[in-house]
Amino acid sequence: MFFATGVNNFGKLPVLVNGVEELGGFVDLEGNPVQLKDRITILGFFGNDPLQTKALTYNLAHKIYKKNHEFSEFQFVILLPENTRNQAKILTNKIGEIAPTTSWKFAFGSTEAIQSVFDSLKSGYTLDGGMTSSYVFIIDKELNLRGRNDDEDVADGLVYGYNSADIGDINNRMSDDVKVVLAEYRRALKKYNKREI
């Protein structure tokens, strides 16, 4: 069941799903735990052979990550099976040629754990047999899936994720929606800081 928050009138991107599963047990290339809570996350699933999806990685790194990686609470998290570490190291080096990789994390876990996180998105999309999806998702600090509930180009108006294989979708819909979410949190931070003074 999803909970839509209404039309995007107040500069907020609607919540489509509450309570996305936290990344319990996932670790990055250095063995450090990776989590979604308290971060604005672009979450992706690039499967058993991430070098085969390198075009998706480069699209996202150039069009979204490069512009937003300096926002302190923003991160990219790509979930991968344990046996893909060497491929992830290669991709990390390539991303580093585009922008510093401090906020880009490849996170490793079991295929069951990856499937469980994906299912918690309740997006209607599926992972293929290689645990891959071209769709990426915006998760807010409170573990809610953000998206659109009034998109005129979609039959039911609902946009749960963004197709990283489609440059138009990344350049237009996703880029705009990431800006909205980051601006929302910047405004909230400014209000909080004013109260502290």
Domain ranges of the chain: 15-196
List of residues 6+ apart from 90 with CB closer than 8 A: 51
Cβ–Cβ under 8 Å, residues 69 and 36: no
CA distances from 115 to 21, 49, 56, 109, 126 (A): 11, 16, 20, 10, 9
What is the pTM for the complete model shown? 0.91
| 49 residue type, one letter | D
Residue 180's H or E segment, with its range, is helix 175-196
Residue 197: predicted pLDDT:
44
Which of 11, 4, 5 lies closest to 180 in space, CA to CA?
11
Would you say 171 and 66 are in contact if contact means Cβ atoms under 8 Å apart? no
DSSP 20: P
> What is the residue-level pLDDT of the chain in tens, covering all 197 positions?
333 333 344 478 999 999 999 999 999 999 999 999 999 999 999 999 999 999 999 999 999 999 999 998 999 999 999 999 999 999 999 999 999 999 999 999 999 999 999 999 999 999 999 999 999 999 999 999 999 999 999 889 999 999 999 999 999 999 999 999 999 988 877 665 555 44
Judged by DSSP in three states, 135 sits in: strand
| CATH superfamily membership of 15-196 | Glutaredoxin (3.40.30.10)
Query: How many alpha carbons fall within 13 Å on the CB side of residue 187?
Result: 9
